[in-house]
Structure 1
Amino acid sequence: MKGENYLYLYCLWVLGDYKRKGYGSSLLAYCINDAKAKGKSGICMLGAQKQKSWLSDQTFVKKNGFKTVDKTNNGYELLALSFDESTPYFPEKVKNPTIENKELTIYYSMQCPFVFNTIKKIKQYCTENNIPHSLYHIDTLQKAKELPCVFNNWAVFYKGIFETVNLLDIKYLERILKK
């Protein structure tokens, strides 16, 4: 995402008994006020043409003024609430994500608590089964900005083609490797 003066909203969730009590609205209002107080141009977040279970509820943020400002060729959207009429956007390279490396390639960060164990299992499986793989830990903002995809927490490529941003269990990994 390009939008140097935008605050990126990574996760906004309210679950279980806490839903529909105004907590989500309070959290979003806090984010908006914080971004304005810090002189940001606005707030943006990742969405999709069809809601994904692991993405924050885009219907909720659209009701609060967010608009789709850019799209990829594989169904992802950039949602933004602008305070100054500027517009963030996706770099061209992420709109049709491919890479030169043909082996199993995973870009990951430790933003999600489930990533550590998933990486550990994938390393073990690939080593035991002699599967060539490359794992790239995204631990700086610069590395995140250079990614060939829209999601900087987890992205899987195989044979140079973007496969998924969903965490893998071994059965899912095996399905990808059979392609």
Structure 2
Amino acid sequence: MELIKVTKKNIEEEHICCAISNNEDCQVVSKKQWLKKRFKEGLVFLKGNVRGKCFIEYVPAENAWCPIEANDYMFIDCLWVSGKFKGEGYSNELLKACIADSKKKGKLGLVILSAKKKIPYISHPKYLKYKGFKLADTSGPFYELFYLPFSENACKPCFMKHIKSPSIKEQGFVLYYSNQCPFTAKYVPIIEKIAHDKKIAFKAIKIESTEEAKMAPAPFVTYSLFYNGEFMTNEILSDKKFEKIVNEKAARE
């Protein structure tokens, strides 16, 4: 497999794997606009020359859209290889390229967001442990921060203190999200409309900068839904899944 680095120069010609549609699709537009702004912050997007989800996205941890303290580390935003490529070794190739690039840039190691068990949109802890990653820190309700140090004396990264127990003060549904994932461009407006039509208290807060991301109330800045102050889910909800949650809350109340 050949690895292709997506840059400002070729981004319009290259598909970005997680949103395989034409360049006029709202998901593709939002993701590519987000990437263009992040390239100047050191973000790297490497993808395989295959038609499908096979890529790794990483950035210097100081510029990571995640509330962590990991100076001089490289943060992996996403490592995604779809099931149809299972057994081909593509995940290993992408990770190996990231490690080599990070060492070349003088980084202390890699850091990545995970969880106690496999959940949507979060790297699988079993795979990370298999590749030598170690647990660095934890955050409620299930988040884990893993790191792969390049030397024995490398300092251990950690979550920022304000997200150790994710919660907010606002009542009703409150969604924090960003266009780091292309799917938010499609599905956030859908659940916003459902909430409006049902006259449900709903507020969507879009993260627009690294500074805002660092102060987000939960580790997964891409998508974090709260209800009456409590964290609910990081899964990017479809209309049916959101309506199910709304109905369950209504039944309990």
Instruction: With the length of structure 2 as denominator, give the TM-score of the two structures.
Output: 0.66
3-state SS, counterpart of residue 77 of structure 2: coil
Any unmatched runs of 5+ in structure 1? none
2:245 corresponds to which residue?
A: 176
2:233 corresponds to which residue?
A: 164
Cα deviation digits, residues 98-140 of structure 1 (max 9, x gap): 1011121101111222111111111211222222222111121
Contact 2:120 2:235 in 1 (8 A): no
User: Aligned partners of 2:161, 2:240: CA distance in 1, in Å?
Assistant: 32
User: Aligned partners of 1:160, 1:33: CA distance in 2, in Å?
Assistant: 42
User: Aligned partners of 2:174, 2:120: CA distance in 1, in Å?
Assistant: 23
User: Aligned partners of 2:230, 2:120: CA distance in 1, in Å?
Assistant: 22
1:105 corresponds to which residue?
A: 174
Which of the numbers 137, 143, 146 marks the counterpart of 1:70? 137
Deviates more, 1:7-16 or 1:139-148: 7-16
Deviation, 1:5, is 2.0
Counterparts in 2 of 1:17 and 1:132: CA distance versus 1, 3 Å = closer
Counterpart check, 1:118 vs 2:187: yes
User: Aligned partners of 1:148, 1:2: CA distance in 2, in Å?
Assistant: 15
User: Aligned partners of 1:101, 1:60: CA distance in 2, in Å?
Assistant: 36
Counterpart check, 1:136 vs 2:220: no
Any unmatched runs of 5+ in structure 2? 1-67
User: Aligned partners of 2:240, 2:131: CA distance in 1, in Å?
Assistant: 39
1:148 corresponds to which residue?
A: 217
Kindly provide the amino acid, as one letter, of the partner of residue 100 in structure 1: K
Q: Kindly, what percent of the aligned residue pairs are identical?
A: 35
Deviation, 1:166, is 0.7
1:16 corresponds to which residue?
A: 83
Deviation, 1:165, is 0.3
Q: For the aligned residues, what is the CA RMSD?
A: 1.6
